[in-house]
Structure 1
Amino acid sequence: MEIRHLQYFITIVEKHTFTNAASALHISQPSLSASIKKLENELGLVLLDRSSREVQLTKEGKILYQEAKKLVNHFEHVENEMKRLKEQGPLELSIGVIESTKYWVPKILARFKGEYKYVRIHLMDILSLTDVEKALSNFDIHLAITNQYINSEEIEVIPIYEEKLVALLPENHPLRHNETLTIEELNQEPFIICKEGFQTRTDILNAFQKAGIKPNIQFEIERFETACRLVEEGLGATVLPENYVKYSETTHFHVKPLEDPNLSRIVYVAFDKNRYLPPLVLRFIALVKAFFEEEQVKE
């Protein structure tokens, strides 16, 4: 039993004659008659009473019409949904994010939801390089916003902005009146740093190494928020991305620019280049790029 033959059968029932049905289906009447005869032969049932000008359903024909209508409607729904998926992709977007994106990702999502009202958004905290690579390779996310540069043939990384790293000092710190700080001035400070596997940790330790000093690491953390709380309590100093601190609601610490011009980081959009990316994913990436192009113009 072919779905095409069921569609023909339904059309005959609803158009009442083979002539009208053939015209609606844009096929010849003999071809339509042959298709319905083939359907009846396959089922071993007479479906239509052809004794009058307008065809009438037999008892078996009425049952088939009711069930075929449901089946064809479902088939057409699935077919249309597959076409929509091909054009738009699934109505969901999964994004891996780092903590410092909290100030700008909601702004882009507001624009995105204005265009894709019914898309469900999944935001997943993905911090380390291993987390990013695993989430992308497992298709847990469509894309990641990360400061990890991923050297992989399967993953494409697009730089979207660069930001400086700044030092945070407790409120009553003796260096609080300095306009800027050097890495050397942080030498003996109880230091708060991200745990191993985080790019920010690598960037900071590289800066200390170039200065020929070793930081006095007292706390290893995963989240910038934890580092801020520790600094507030006077437990040490830390170095964090400028944008994260700029948009932080906390003011119970001092933020100092660092004189090291190389102490910065790049934030990327990363995605699996071998995976089909629906148009809505590509649109989100385009909105991210546009947002930071606008930010550069403002500066």
Structure 2
Amino acid sequence: MDIRQLKYFITLANERTYTRAAKLLHISQPSLSASIKKLEQEVGLTLIDRTARQFRMTKEGQILYREAQKLLHHYEHVSLEMDRLKQQGPLELSVGLIESSMFFVPDILTRFKQEYHDVRISLLETLSLGDVKNALNNFDIHLAITNQYIHQQDIETTPIYEESLVALIPPEHSLGDKDVLHIHDLEGENFIVCKEGFQTRQDILNAFSKSGVKPNIQFEIERFETGCSLVEDGLGITVVPENYVRYSKQTDCSIKGIEGANISRIVYLAYDKNRYLPPNVMRLIELVKEFFA
């Protein structure tokens, strides 16, 4: 089994016909068919269900397809990295971030640039679980700072800090006069929350559920910045990470802790432990861990 065979198999699985796949690969259809049969012989498994009227992979074929895609991504990535290293010298480093991580990321990058001043750094927003998984699996980023725990065997997910979630109350709202809030104080209020797929949404709704309160969700958002703007305009109340409001722009909104609900979130450092990571990426990982040590 080699890379060429896996590429042929992936192309066939994507195109679902030997004719289109062979055309894309610039080989004859009999050559493609022979290559697939040889691959099946080498792995000792039937990969294509030839009894079906339409193209269909067996369960074993589906597993090989998923794993072969990862392997091909990795192979192409390593080839590109080596070419870039020869042509451009220092590599570009890509980091996936959540909004609230900007309270500490500049300090870490300042230290990093003192050691690797020629390295170019791309900072990309990766907010939902799907965003983070796709960015890591497709090698769009070298590492991610995320509040999503990734249940994937090849992804190392290390907790780096935990922070409280606080309520953001519109200016002149009656709840702004309270020293602290309880979940029941938010019952019936217009509520702003992250959309499905965001861990912060799940953390907040779990706290409401444990308190027996159903939030009156009026707005769903992707970014805390959007939620804060809606709160400033008096459109509702939201719950955001404490560090986000502490280090973001000044606001006329009231920031209140929520007692008795134990609303918090964990922020993680995540990266593909089976992927080749150059020394500068490993150093950045070390600096993140040292910052919160």
> Shared fold by TM > 0.5?
yes
Whole-angstrom CA distance in 1 between matches of 2:259 and 2:105: 29
Q: What residue is the counterpart of 2:263 in the other structure?
A: 263
Tell me the residue number matched to 2:148. Answer: 148
Q: Is the 8 A contact 1:192 1:220 kept in 2?
A: yes
Which residue number corresponds to residue 252 of structure 2? 252
CA distance in 2, matches of 1:260, 1:274: 41
Partner of 2:177: 177
For 1:284 and 1:271, how far apart are their aligned partners in 2? 12
Partner of 1:25: none
- CA displacement, residues 124-174 of structure 1 (integer Å, 9 cap, x when unaligned): 100000110000000000000000011110111011100000000011011
In 2, the alpha carbon distance for the partners of 1:260 and 1:282 equals 40
> Match for residue 216 of structure 2?
216
Structure 1 Cα separation of the partners of residues 266 and 191 of structure 2 = 23
Secondary structure of the residue that 2:259 maps to in structure 1? coil
Match of 1:113 in 2: 113
Distance of 1:144 and 1:90 partners within structure 2: 20
Residue 138 of structure 1 is matched in structure 2 by 138
Higher-Rg structure is 1
Superposition TM-score, scaled by structure 1 size: 0.68
Q: Which residue of 2 aligns with 1:273?
A: 273
8 Å Cα contact 2:147/2:268 also seen in 1: yes
Distance across 2 between alignment mates of 1:90 and 1:202: 40
Amino acid at match of 2:114: G
* Cα distance in 2 between the residues matched to 1:203 and 1:171: 25
* Distance in 2, Cα, partners of 1:90 & 1:196: 39
Instruction: Check conservation: 2:90, 2:118, Cα contact below 8 A.
Output: no
Deviation at 1:175, TM superposition (A): 1.3
Which AA in structure 1 matches 2:272? D
- 1:286-297 matches, within 5 Å, as 286-293=286-293
Q: Runs ≥4 in structure 1, deviation > 6 angstroms?
A: none
Identity of aligned residues (%): 66
Q: 2:184 is matched by which residue type in structure 1?
A: E
| CA contact 2:194–2:222 (8 Å) conserved in 1 | yes
Report the Cα distance in structure 1 between the residues aligned to 2:290 and 2:261, rounded to whole angstroms. 27
Alignment gaps of 5+ in structure 1 = 1-80, 294-299
Q: What is the one-letter code of the residue matched to 1:109?
A: L
Give yes or no for contact 1:90–1:278 (8 Å, CA) kept in 2: no
Paired residue for 2:95? Answer: 95
Deviation string 1:62-121 (CA, Å, 9 cap, x unpaired) is xxxxxxxxxxxxxxxxxxx96x969xx952110000111122111111111111000000
Q: Report the CA distance between 1:213 and its aligned residue.
A: 1.4
Alpha-carbon RMSD across the aligned residues, in angstroms, is 1.9
User: What runs of 5+ residues in structure 2 fail to find an aligned partner?
Assistant: 1-80
Work out the CA distance in 2 between the residues paired with 1:274 and 1:85.
20
TM-score normalised by structure 2 residue count: 0.69
Deviation by residue 1:232-257 (Cα, 9 ceiling, x = unmatched): 01111000000001011122100001
Residue 13 of structure 2 corresponds to none
Question: Structure 1 residue 279: deviation in Å?
Answer: 1.1
